Structure formats: C-alpha cells, structure tokens
Amino acid sequence: MRYGIIADIHGNLAAFKEVIKHLRGVDQIWCLGDVVGYGPDPNECIELLASFSHLCIAGNHDLGAIGKIDLDDFSLDARIACEWTGRELTLQSLNYLQNLPLELNPIDDVTLVHGSPRNPIWEYIISTWDAEANFHHFTSKVAFVGHTHIPIVFQKFPKDTRLPAGPPTGRAGQVCQAIGLEEGKVFTLREGFRYIINVGSVGQPRDGNPKASFIIFDSEKFSFEYHRVSYPIEETQEKMESNKLPAFLIYRLTHGI
Ligand code: ZN
C-alpha cells in the first residue's frame, strides 16, 4: 500500500491543493496534525482532507483553536492566528477537530504523532538527543512526526552496531544519527534500524525552502519518496492580509522560515 504522509497544513489551502495533486494515486492519506492555525483557510483545508480516505491526529494548533489547550503557551503571533481560527471554524470543522486522536498505529510497525512519541502535542524533536530519548517511548520500527516543520530522518542503530569512525554523533553511547533528505529521492528503511521521520510541513515550511513538503510511504518496501512542490504563495498571503493575520506569518511563507 502507498500512503501520502503530510503534516502542518496550517490552513494553507493553496499549498494543500498542490500537494493533493501529487497524492491522487495513494491508497490513504495520513495527516500528522495542525490542519489549522496560521493560515487563512481552516475550514476549506479540513473539508478537502475529509474528502479523501485518510487518518488524522491532533496537533497543538488544532487543539488550541477549539479551546482544548491553553493559548498562553503559544507565541503571540500563533495565539492571534489561533484565536482568529477559532472564530472562523464552522460547527462541522469544530466537530472534526474535537474528535482527533493524539496517536495512531495505522499498520504494524508504524506510529503517528504530531510532536513526539513522548509528548505528542508539545515536544519538538530537533536534535539526535531529543530523538534518542524518544526511541524509548514507542515500540514500532518507525514513528512519523511533524510539528517542527523541518523534514529530517533520525536513524537509530541496532543495539550491537559498531559506530563508524568519523564525526561524533553526540554524547558518548549515543546510537542515533540525523540524516537530511533529498528532494525526489527514495529513502529505504533498513532492517534492524528504527526511525523517527519528520515529513516537513505543507503549509508553513521552516527549513529555508518555501515549497510544500510531503512524503509517499510504501508499506511493502518500507521506503518513502520525499517531495517538495511549489504553490502560489501570494494567493495565501493575500487572504492572510485581508483577514489581518500577523505580518510575520505572512512574510515567513516567502522564505520558508
Ligand atoms: Zn505546526
């Protein structure tokens, strides 16, 4: 089976529509949370996602927009956008967001969470240290995550692996490494290794590349293709402007920061 795995759409319909064009052939879409927040089209993004066979888990913005978590923990811009989103949500969207689980195991050997297996809502896995700690909090071969908006693979070596000589992977005894992804390339998950894979963000990339990010996962081969696609950023920015969403949130889309 082939699965389109996406995260952090953030109400950016123009970006999401472009990604969807590339996911037409997949068997199911797995969305790792933050369907809403930041962007100008929360309801439309939920509707589009719901029109496909899909699974979705909750992100911090999804829960913030419906009042399930405290917005005091958000940055000011995020809070303003989240409050705006909350006011915009239709009853149908509200209902959709209220029923999202925090974690899913859709097939053997796969875990889906928004932030991290240890703290699905809030933790950002940004280093091999964070990843190393999190490998103890799930049992499947791979956990797919979002939340940081930065695509990356954390690979944990089998217990008896001798680490190669070369740059240190961190503190002594650490057996996990970070691997960057190359656009359009296939990454195969190796036998005996375990993985935490961040699929990047559809609607607000933060790795310096403004193009929308997603992967297509093949559950038979245990491999995935990593993709970035351009979308009409100005379309989203104009809607954000007319809704008076914070200026930095508009600006950052141009640069992918
Ligand atoms: Zn997010």
Give 8 Cα–ligand 1 centroid separation in angstroms.
Answer: 5
Give 99 Cα–ligand 1 centroid separation in angstroms.
Answer: 18
**Residue where the block lists tokens 């029109």:** 51
* Token pair recorded at residue 202: 């559809």
Residue 13, classed as helix, strand or coil, is: helix
Least confident of 8-12, 137-141, 163-167: 163-167
How does residue 164 score in pLDDT terms, banded at 50, 70 and 90? low
As a dihedral over the C-alpha atoms of residue 198, residue 201, residue 202, residue 204, rounded to 10 degrees, the angle is 180
Do 159 and 165 contact (CB within 8 A), yes or no? no
Using one digit for the tens of pLDDT, what is the confidence trace for 16-39?
999 999 999 999 999 999 999 999
Looking at every residue in the chain, the average pLDDT score rounds to: 94
- The CA-based angle 249-57-10, given to 5 degrees, is 15
Tell whether the model's pLDDT for residue 69 goes beyond 60. yes
The total number of residues shown for the chain amounts to 257
Residues having C-beta closer than 5 Å to ion ligand 1: 8, 34
What average pLDDT does this structure show over 42-63? Answer: 98
Instruction: Quote the DSSP letter at residue 244.
Output: T
What pLDDT, on the 0 to 100 scale, is given for residue 160? 64
Give 192 Cα–ligand 1 centroid separation in angstroms.
Answer: 31
In degrees and rounded to multiples of 5, residue 218 shows phi and psi of -105, 110
Tell whether the model's pLDDT for residue 166 goes beyond 70. no
CA–CA dist 12, 40 (Å, integer): 6
CA–CA dist 202, 212 (Å, integer): 4
Give 148 Cα–ligand 1 centroid separation in angstroms.
Answer: 7
Give 64 Cα–ligand 1 centroid separation in angstroms.
Answer: 11
How does residue 174 score in pLDDT terms, banded at 50, 70 and 90? low
What pLDDT, on the 0 to 100 scale, is given for residue 175? 78
Tell whether the model's pLDDT for residue 171 goes beyond 60. no
Instruction: Quote the DSSP letter at residue 152.
Output: E
Give 151 Cα–ligand 1 centroid separation in angstroms.
Answer: 12
pTM of the model: 0.94
